[in-house]
């Protein structure tokens, strides 16, 4: 990074620290914050979409859709997150490779499962064994997004299902009296009004999602907790910057990061609640109306 | 179908244009001087240099991957990488589930490290070791209470903060730590020879790759370059072939 960092052993004090904090390894740590934020930015809307579809399916008058919707939420909600993370990713990964194997190597005669090994033909590996490391990392990240979305989508589905049920029946009846059909009532009346009922539950989920990001390491993505542990561990002079056990400071930094991030989320969510309560037939909406009058 | 086959064959051919097969090397990256992540964020250490040399000899392109020690064998079996080169001792137990090349480090001693030279290590003592290592297995049978940790670094930290009376690991890993602790940590004199040396782990079905690496290791043993490399990373007193 800096020119004077060429010989770290001769440095002292702040110059040493400046060089230490800009090593390639620390860049890995800084990048991993981006990874976590990107995961949140993609997962949150995807999970919400899963939840929305799940809730719609669970409310559907069509029996098979109802079974799928309710089955999805019941299954994911009933299995511990960590088990789901470990099981689902392996199952998904091997499932993709198995399908790919059937398509690409129909002439392959060896069994795919050999004892504990899972062995598809080399052309069916996803990603290919010869692809550069960043492709593997991208694939791992994609699997992580998929898993997080499925898990949090199930919780969101339940929250949205409850919120849809909470919209006063009188509102929907009025809309029907105006001659709107089922889809119109859903789109124009039910969905705009349900958010205020869903928000407390959804904001809870968002907080839990933020705190669940360290599970990324389980999925082979090098997240901030991985780097904090790796960087904080005691280093002998095999490394350029030897230091004693500094994990306390690194984890303290993570603590501050997570606390700051959740605090910021709370502020934003509070504002959103206020915005959505305006004009609603809820206690908060009523209080707002009175304050304004 | 035929077109598809020709296409795949073409892809396979062009991919192998440099006549080089890509082999993914799985390591832990937390066990200096065997393997560690250096300050540039790359895999470094004895096994990095050895692995790169072996790949060059065998005409393979090698890509380095790090993986938690805990799950390093299952991830090899499910094909996330093709070899384990992570200071893994050859034992009968592991040999049942994966294959090993011939050893590239001769059977070396494991040792205890503690805060004082008179620390207890036998009955009633608490000894730290990394989970799933031959050292952890040895401690469990020695009568001492075993305290397992996910990374070697954490097992050393447990001794420093008094959680454990001693830590048991490869001597080559502990010796530099004791030497640089300024007297805070000392090596205990009773060394224990364990395992059949360190070898590369491969899937049992990968017999061809195993033969390739076996030959490459043998050639390095024959011309003495392996001994030079061992001395470079583990010091002049290290056991060689």
Q: A186: domain CATH number?
A: 1.10.3720.10
Residue B72 lies in a domain: yes
Q: Please give the residue of chain B at the shortest CA–CA distance from A115.
A: B97
Pair (B166, B201) in one structural domain: no
Residue B239 lies in a domain: no
* Minimal Cβ distance to A24: which of B23, B39, B151: B39
Pair (B17, B68) in one structural domain: yes
* Minimal Cβ distance to B33: which of A117, A119, A238: A238
Q: Which CA distances in Å does A188 have to A164, A171, A191, B223, B235? A: 13, 11, 7, 80, 76
Pair (B21, B94) in one structural domain: yes
Confidence of residue B1 (pLDDT cuts 50, 70, 90): very low
Task: Kindly state the average pLDDT of the residues A139-144.
Answer: 90
Q: Where are the alpha helices (DSSP H) in A1-62?
A: 13-20, 24-59
**Contact yes or no for A234/B156 (Cβ under 8 A):** yes
Residue-number span of the structural domain to which A215 is assigned:
22-292
* Minimal Cβ distance to A117: which of B22, B29, B204: B204
Residues of A in contact with B203 (CB under 8 A): 117, 119
Pair (B64, B118) in one structural domain: no
pLDDT 10s digits, A175-202: 999 999 999 999 999 999 999 999 999 9
Q: Please give the residue of chain A at the shortest CA–CA distance from B15.
A: A130
The overall average pLDDT reported for chain A is 89
Residues of B in contact with A124 (CB under 8 A): none
Q: Taking 70 as the threshold, does the pLDDT of residue B14 lie above it?
A: no
Measure B111 CA to nearest chain A CA, in Å: 18
Task: Kindly state the average pLDDT of the residues A16-42.
Answer: 91
More confidently predicted of A60 and B8: A60
Pair (B152, B183) in one structural domain: yes
Question: Crossing angle, helix A224-232 and helix A24-59, to 10 degrees?
Answer: 150
Confidence of residue B68 (pLDDT cuts 50, 70, 90): confident
Q: Taking 70 as the threshold, does the pLDDT of residue B10 lie above it?
A: no
Give dist(CA B211, CA B197) in Å, integer.
18
Residue B65 lies in a domain: yes
Contact: B176, A220; criterion CB under 8 Å: no
Pair (B117, B203) in one structural domain: no
Pair (B202, B176) in one structural domain: no
Contact: A27, B41; criterion CB under 8 Å: yes
Residues of B in contact with A116 (CB under 8 A): 74, 77, 97
Chain B interface test: which of A16, A116, A134 (most B C-beta within 10 Å): A116
Q: Is A182 exposed, middle or buried (0-12, 13-18, 19+ CB in 10 A)?
A: exposed
More confidently predicted of A283 and B5: A283
Residue B241 lies in a domain: no
Contact: A24, B33; criterion CB under 8 Å: no
Pair (B6, B102) in one structural domain: yes
Q: What is the CATH number of the domain that holds B179?
A: 3.40.190.10
The pTM of the whole model exceeds 0.80: yes
Give the 3-state secondary structure of residue A261: helix
As for the ipTM of the complex, it is: 0.77
More confidently predicted of A83 and A268: A268
The overall average pLDDT reported for chain B is 88
Residues of A in contact with B153 (CB under 8 A): 233-234, 245
Per the listing, tokens 């490399």 go with B229
Pair (B88, B187) in one structural domain: no
Residue A9 lies in a domain: no
What pLDDT is stored for residue A55 in this prediction?
95
Confidence of residue A136 (pLDDT cuts 50, 70, 90): confident
Chain B interface test: which of A30, A90, A117 (most B C-beta within 10 Å): A117
Q: Which CA distances in Å does A195 have to A49, A155, A170, A171, A174? A: 14, 15, 17, 15, 19
Residues of B in contact with A8 (CB under 8 A): 39
Residue A283 lies in a domain: yes
Task: Kindly state the average pLDDT of the residues A25-47.
Answer: 93
Residue B60 lies in a domain: yes
Please tell me the total count of domains within chain A: 1
Q: What is the DSSP string of B124-178?
A: T-EEEEETTSHHHHHHHHHTSEEEEESSHHHHHHHHHTTSSSEEEEEHHHHHHHH
Residues of A in contact with B156 (CB under 8 A): 234
Confidence of residue B241 (pLDDT cuts 50, 70, 90): confident
Task: Kindly state the average pLDDT of the residues B49-67.
Answer: 93
Residue-number span of the structural domain to which B74 is assigned:
2-106+196-234
Give dist(CA A249, CA B194) in Å, integer.
36
Kindly state the tokens that stand for B151.
């990374």
Please tell me the total count of domains within chain B: 2
B31 φ, ψ to 5°? -135, 65
What pLDDT is stored for residue B4 in this prediction?
52
**Contact yes or no for A135/A129 (Cβ under 8 A):** no
Measure A12 CA to nearest chain B CA, in Å: 17
Task: Kindly state the average pLDDT of the residues A256-264.
Answer: 95
* Minimal Cβ distance to A236: which of B64, B157, B177: B177
Contact: B205, A114; criterion CB under 8 Å: yes
Task: Kindly state the average pLDDT of the residues A125-138.
Answer: 84
pLDDT 10s digits, A207-255: 999 998 888 877 778 889 889 988 998 888 888 888 888 999 999 999 9
pLDDT 10s digits, B138-153: 999 988 999 999 999 9
Pair (B209, B127) in one structural domain: no
Pair (B95, B115) in one structural domain: no
Pair (B219, B174) in one structural domain: no
Residues of B in contact with A125 (CB under 8 A): 79
Confidence of residue A113 (pLDDT cuts 50, 70, 90): confident
Q: Is A293 exposed, middle or buried (0-12, 13-18, 19+ CB in 10 A)?
A: exposed
Residues of A in contact with B205 (CB under 8 A): 110, 114, 117, 119
Contact: B40, A23; criterion CB under 8 Å: yes
């Amino acid at each position: 990074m800096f020119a004077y960092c060429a010989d770290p052993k001769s440095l002292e004090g702040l110059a040493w620290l400046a060089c230490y904090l800009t090593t390639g390894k620390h860049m890995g740590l800084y990048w991993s914050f981006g990874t976590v934020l990107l995961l949140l930015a993609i997962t949150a809307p995807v999970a919400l979409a899963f939840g929305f579809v799940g809730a719609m399916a669970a409310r559907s008058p069509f029996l098979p859709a109802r079974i799928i919707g309710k089955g999805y939420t019941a299954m994911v909600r009933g299995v511990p997150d960590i088990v789901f993370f470990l099981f689902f990713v392996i199952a998904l990964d091997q499932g993709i490779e198995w399908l790919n194997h059937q398509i690409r190597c129909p002439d392959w005669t060896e069994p795919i499962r050999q004892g504990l090994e899972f062995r598809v033909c080399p052309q069916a590996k996803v990603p290919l064994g010869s692809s550069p490391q960043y492709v593997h990392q991208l694939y791992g990240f994609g699997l992580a997004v998929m898993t997080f979305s499925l898990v949090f989508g199930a919780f969101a589905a339940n929250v949205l299902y409850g919120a849809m049920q909470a919209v006063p029946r009188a509102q929907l009846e009025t809309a029907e009296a105006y001659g709107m059909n089922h889809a119109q009532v859903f789109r124009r009346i039910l969905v705009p009004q349900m958010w205020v009922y869903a928000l407390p539950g959804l904001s809870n989920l968002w907080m839990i999602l933020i705190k669940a990001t360290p599970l990324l390491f389980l999925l082979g993505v090098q997240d901030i907790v991985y780097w904090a542990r790796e960087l904080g561990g005691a280093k002998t002079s095999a490394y350029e910057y030897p230091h004693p056990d500094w994990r306390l400071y690194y984890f303290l930094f993570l603590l501050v990061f997570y606390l700051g991030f959740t605090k910021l989320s709370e502020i934003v969510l509070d504002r959103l609640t206020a915005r959505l309560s305006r004009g609603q037939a809820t206690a908060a909406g009523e209080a707002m109306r009175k304050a304004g009058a | 179908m035929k077109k598809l086959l020709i296409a795949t064959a073409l892809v396979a051919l062009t991919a192998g244009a440099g006549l080089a097969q890509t082999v993914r090397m799985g390591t832990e990256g937390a066990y200096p001087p065997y393997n560690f992540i250096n300050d540039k964020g790359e895999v470094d250490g004895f096994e990095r240099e050895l692995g790169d040399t072996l790949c060059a000899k065998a005409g393979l392109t090698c890509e380095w991957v790090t993986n938690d020690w805990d799950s390093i064998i299952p991830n090899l079996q499910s094909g996330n990488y093709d070899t384990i080169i992570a200071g893994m001792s050859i034992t009968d137990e592991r040999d049942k589930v994966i294959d090993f090349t011939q050893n590239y480090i001769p059977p070396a001693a494991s040792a205890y490290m503690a805060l004082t030279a008179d620390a207890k290590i036998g009955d009633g003592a608490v000894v730290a070791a990394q989970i799933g290592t031959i050292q952890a297995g040895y401690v469990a049978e020695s009568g001492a209470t075993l305290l397992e940790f996910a990374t070697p670094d954490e097992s050393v930290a447990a001794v420093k903060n008094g959680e454990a009376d001693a830590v048991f690991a490869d001597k080559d890993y502990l010796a530099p730590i004791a030497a640089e602790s300024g007297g805070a940590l000392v090596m205990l004199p009773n060394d224990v020879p364990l395992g059949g040396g360190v070898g590369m782990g491969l899937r049992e079905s990968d017999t061809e790759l195993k033969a390739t690496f076996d030959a490459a290791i043998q050639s390095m043993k024959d011309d003495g370059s392996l001994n030079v490399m061992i001395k470079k990373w583990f010091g002049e007193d290290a056991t060689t072939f």
